[in-house]
Amino acid sequence: MQTLTFQPLNPQIFAPYGDIVSPEMGEKITVNDGMATRFRDLANVELNGDNTRTLISIFRSEPFELPIKISMLERHPLGSQLFCPLCARPWAVIVADDDHGKPTNLKAFRLDGKTGINFKPNIWHHTLICFEETSEFITVDRDGDGNNLEEYYLDEPMMLVDSL
């Protein structure tokens, strides 16, 4: 089985797939009489289609252990999807390019627990992968009419490994 390893995350490499939700990425504004800093506009929340609203949820995920067999990716044609860890524990994101409706060129990133991710609409990604302990994430995505979920089972599953 082909292996998939982690690569360093940076805004340039992630830009085609979405936003890195981190204080470092935002416009910095002092607020609250100097008691707080607002790091503003960290993600482009996109809600397309009819009767949309911004949907707030919390995902509670069981931890994974490497290596992980990667069999399926999904995408949301009508809206972005943001995940931000609530527990400061490491997690991982896998995205892929699209080739005529099939995910291709998978990329894996390991994230610290202080960094969130916002997937653009229609970007292939793996479901939530966290490590160490049961972990919670706040999510911001789309509620609305229409089918907003597409799943693709890989012709050849890959194995996500720590390093080669």
The reply on whether position 53 binds a copy of itself by CB under 8 A is yes
Dist. CA 91–CA 86, nearest whole Å:
11
In angstroms, the CA 94 to CA 117 distance is 11
Residues 76 and 45: their CA atoms lie apart, in Å, by 13
CB of 100 to a copy of itself, least distance (A): 26
> Which position among 23, 69, 104, 105 is part of the footprint of a copy of itself (CB under 8 A)?
23
43 scored as a contact of a copy of itself (CB under 8 A): yes
d(CA 29, CA 39): 6
Query: Which residue type does 28 have?
Result: K
CA angle 58, 59, 60 (to 5 degrees): 115
> In terms of CB distance, is 7 or 28 closer to a copy of itself?
28
Site string for a copy of itself, 93-132 (x = CB under 8 A): ---------------------x-x-x--------xx----
Phi, psi of 80 (to 5 degrees): -75, 165
Q: State the alpha helices, DSSP H only, in 61-129.
A: none
Of 10, 15, 41, 146, the one binding a copy of itself (CB under 8 A) is 41
143 lies in the site for a copy of itself, by CB under 8 A = yes
Interacting residue ranges for a copy of itself, rule: CB under 8 A: 21-23, 26, 31-33, 35-43, 45, 47, 53-62, 64, 82, 84-88, 114, 116, 118, 127-128, 136, 138-140, 143
